[in-house]
Each structure stands twice: as structure tokens, then as C-alpha cells.
Amino acid sequence: MKKYELKNLAEPNLMEDIFDYDLAPKITFDGPIIEVIDGEEVRFDPGDVMKRDIVITDTTFRDGQQARRPYSVEQCVTLFKLLSRLSGPRGVIRQSEFFLYSEKDREVVEKCRALGARFPEITGWIRANKGDFKHVKRMELKETGLLTSSSDYHIYNKMKTDRAGAFKKYIEVVEAAVEAEVRPRCHLEDVTRADIGGFVMPFVQKLAEIADQVPEELKPKVRLCDTMGFGISYPGAALPRSVPKLIHLITTEGGIPPERLEWHGHNDFHKAHINAATAWLYGCNAANTTLIGFGERTGNPPLEGAVFEYIALKGSLCGIDTLAITEIAQYLRDECRMDIPANYPFVGLKFNATSAGIHADGLSSDERIYNIFNTGKLLGRPPHVTINDKSGIDGVALWVNNFLGLTGDRKISKIKMAKIGRWVVDQYDKEGRITSISDEEMAEQVKKYFPEQYAKVAGE
């Protein structure tokens, strides 16, 4: 057994090559991932994502709207504009899909397109009916998603047909799309519950055959839809639930290259985000997401989570305007009446807040101790404290100094906070309070005990 010796240091090793405070912490690998597939060891190089054009795609206006009251046209256009800003010049948010069925659906597409944004590219979503192509053609879209359900649950129990019947119908619609010069994107609904060898692979291989006969811009894409969130990311997991094995089979024996493959997940087992990231690592270029993860039932991989995963994997911002994430969340909260849990990563009102006094003390001396990255720079939201009975004088002091914008030597000493600290303690010990103290209440205390400083901040 290797013996490890204590290495004492004069200066701390903060591992800033990984934990660069101005970026999401980098995800680094020191070797290949090995999967056993059909009895053979297959080596995957996770570092390959640095070279591949991995992208995020968006379904906020399709799947995202299936779980909430619809956005208004104006709301869709505003959100699309913000998505475009977030995406950056390289188009990290590469595509966004839209319903095309109602007049309102089509008005949204027209208005978003009128913005003239290069990214996200607008694509459609229709059922696998040849008649529905008229909508795609009318909107002059270059690509549309088609519902091509793949499990027997859907084929036999929902569509009331058999595999051969479904296969024939899907291929007819794909051929109709190509003929109409619209790129088909086949959504293999419920693929993590499908017979991979008995239906999915024959269908995908047929798509690859069609692809061989058409120009690049019409070659069919495949979206792997983990409709019920059954996908598993662990190496060694078996098909049909294994994300790695699915991706590997489709990109090798299926003949669909990474740039024409997309992963669409659901969060029923809390695996939506990690499955999407896993799909990236194993050779699928596009991860389909929604803003705040809002989507059917438990939702989809959250787009903002995918953005930080992307930055962490690429080790660079890649032109992404992360500040747009905070604006999007604010807009969803204020204008779209969306309830975002306070502790929701990256966008919840308290995602980088601490109530514990001992954490506040750490934050006060070096915010990196209790902040995931420079949230002030990347999200416009520096870490802060919420005050409750566990906050102590350290929490109170940090809250007050943050509120007054005082740093370094200008900070007010904890000793001067005694009266506010006493008020907080009495709220719980004498008044029997069981809720946190709101920012408004704290501001009132600052106004009472530090009126001059308060007046400067409040512009009084």
C-alpha cells in the first residue's frame, strides 16, 4: 500500500487551475472510461468533448409549455431574445423548437424569426403525420422534429399498431420530409424502454441509409427521448436504460454521427441533468433542455445547468453571456409568474445565500470559501446571507455591510452591530419567531441604527 506523507505548506494550495473563480469549476479527466458492450471493452475518451462541437438545444417553448399555462406571444419573444443573448456568437444554445399547430404558435415563430438572431436556430415539432408538413413548409423551417415513438408501450398500447406498422409509417413521413426539403429529426420517444436490437437499431440503420442518399442539410437527425426519465448514466448499466450503451450503438452500428444525435431527458428520477451531460461525454453532441428545467411532469434538464456544465467541460465561457441567466429568471418570476424554488441552483433567490453564522464568517473573510464561483461576475449575484436564529453576529455583520456596500477597511465593525444582533436574537428567544427575517426587516434595522449610511444607499 502506498504511504501518504503529510505535506505542510507555507501558502495554501487552492487548486485554481480547476477552481478558477471566474469560471464554473473545470471538469477534468485523467483517463478513459471503459464500458463492456457485447462482451468487448470499449474505451471512451471523455476529453473528446473539448474537440467536439457539443451544443445545447432548447425546448422551452415545446416541452416547457406542456407543463404550465402557455406563455404569451410577447413572453416567448422576450425569452427567445434572452436565449439568443445567452447563446453567444458561437451558438452554444444552437436550436430552439416550437409548436406549429395554432395561429398563435405560428405568430410566435414569425416574431422570433423577425428578430434576425443567428442562434438559436428555429425548428418545428410535429406529429408523424404527412399532412402536418404543410405547417413546416408554410413557416419555411429547415428542420422539424417528428414523433417516432419506439417502445412497445407506445407502439402497441398507445398507437394500437405493431412494430412493422410503426416502422413503415415513420419511414414514410421521414421520406416525405426529405422530399419536402425539410430535415427530419426523429424523436425516438420512450427509447429507454424500447427493444433496442428489435426496433430501435433497425429503424436508425434505415435512417442512416436514407442519409446516405441525401445532401448534408437533409440528413435525418435522431433525438433519443428518455420520456419517463429511465436513463442510467452508470458504466455497466444494461440496455435499454444505459445512456452510454445507447449512444455508442447509435453512433457506431446505427450510423448516426454525434452531430446528428441529440439527448432529450426527463427528471422523474432526478437524473435529467446528469444523463444529458453523460450523453455529451459518450458521443452525442446535442443536449436538449428547458429554462429552469420546466417541462412535462418533473421536467427536463435545466438549460442553465447545461450552460455551466458546458463551461466546466470546455474550460471556457465560449462567448456565453451568463448574465442573461439571471435576467431570464427574473423575467420568468416577474412577468410569467413562474415559481422558482428559492434554493434552485443558479437562479433561486437564495441559491448562494447562507444563514449559518459560521459560514457568514467564512464568506466575510474570503467569499470563495462558501461560494461556488464568482456569482457576482457570472450571474450578477454576489453571495449573501439570510438572517435567522443561526446567523449570529457574523451573519448580521455580513448582511449589513453587504447591504451598505461596504468592503475592506470601510466595513462597519461587528461591535457596532450589537443592537441589531440583539434585536435578531430577541425575535426568536422572546417573540417566538420561526421564520427567517426578511431583507426588508433588516433594512429597517439598518435605517434605525445606521441612518447616515442607510440614507446614502437609499438615496435619501
Residues that bind other proteins (CB under 8 A): 392-393, 413-419, 421-422, 425
Comparison of 250 and 385: residue with beta carbon closer to other proteins: 385
Comparison of 372 and 425: residue with beta carbon closer to other proteins: 425
Distance, CA of 350 to CA of 329 (rounded, Å): 13
- Residue 210 Cα distances to 132, 199, 256, 416, angstroms: 21, 17, 11, 75
- Closest residue by Cα to residue 23 from 362, 310, 328, 293: 310
Least spacing, CB of residue 225 vs other proteins, in Å: 55
Comparison of 168 and 422: residue with beta carbon closer to other proteins: 422
Distance, CA of 120 to CA of 154 (rounded, Å): 31
Comparison of 23 and 400: residue with beta carbon closer to other proteins: 400
Comparison of 283 and 392: residue with beta carbon closer to other proteins: 392
Comparison of 407 and 413: residue with beta carbon closer to other proteins: 413
Comparison of 184 and 392: residue with beta carbon closer to other proteins: 392
Least spacing, CB of residue 357 vs other proteins, in Å: 8
Least spacing, CB of residue 409 vs other proteins, in Å: 12
Least spacing, CB of residue 68 vs other proteins, in Å: 45
Which amino acid, 161? T
Least spacing, CB of residue 433 vs other proteins, in Å: 15
- Residue 441 Cα distances to 209, 268, 419, 434, angstroms: 67, 39, 14, 15
The answer to whether 446 and 403 have CB atoms below 8 angstroms apart is yes
Concatenated DSSP letters of 99-146: E-SSHHHHHHHHHHHHT--SSSEEEEEE-S-GGGHHHHHHTT-SEEEE
Site of grid cell 446528428: 260
Least spacing, CB of residue 242 vs other proteins, in Å: 53
- Residue 343 Cα distances to 138, 351, 352, angstroms: 43, 5, 8
- Residue 248 Cα distances to 44, 289, 330, angstroms: 9, 21, 39
- Using DSSP's 3-state secondary structure scheme, residue 28 falls into coil
How many CB atoms within 10 Å of residue 253? 14
Burial class (CB in 10 A: 0-12, 13-18, 19+), 216: exposed
Comparison of 260 and 414: residue with beta carbon closer to other proteins: 414
User: For residue 25, is the peptide bond before it cis, meaning its omega torsion is within 30 degrees of 0?
Assistant: no
The answer to whether 171 and 217 have CB atoms below 8 angstroms apart is no
Least spacing, CB of residue 451 vs other proteins, in Å: 17
Least spacing, CB of residue 29 vs other proteins, in Å: 43
The answer to whether 287 and 276 have CB atoms below 8 angstroms apart is yes
Least spacing, CB of residue 392 vs other proteins, in Å: 6
What cell numbers appear for 276 in the block?
Answer: 444529458
Q: What is the dihedral of CA 125, 282, 52, 118, to 10 degrees?
A: 20
Comparison of 233 and 427: residue with beta carbon closer to other proteins: 427
Least spacing, CB of residue 94 vs other proteins, in Å: 52
The length of the chain in residues reads: 460
Least spacing, CB of residue 417 vs other proteins, in Å: 7
Comparison of 339 and 429: residue with beta carbon closer to other proteins: 429
- Residue 96 Cα distances to 79, 172, 201, 331, 398, angstroms: 11, 25, 27, 19, 42
Comparison of 21 and 428: residue with beta carbon closer to other proteins: 428
Comparison of 320 and 417: residue with beta carbon closer to other proteins: 417
- Closest residue by Cα to residue 206 from 218, 224, 193, 220: 220
Least spacing, CB of residue 411 vs other proteins, in Å: 9
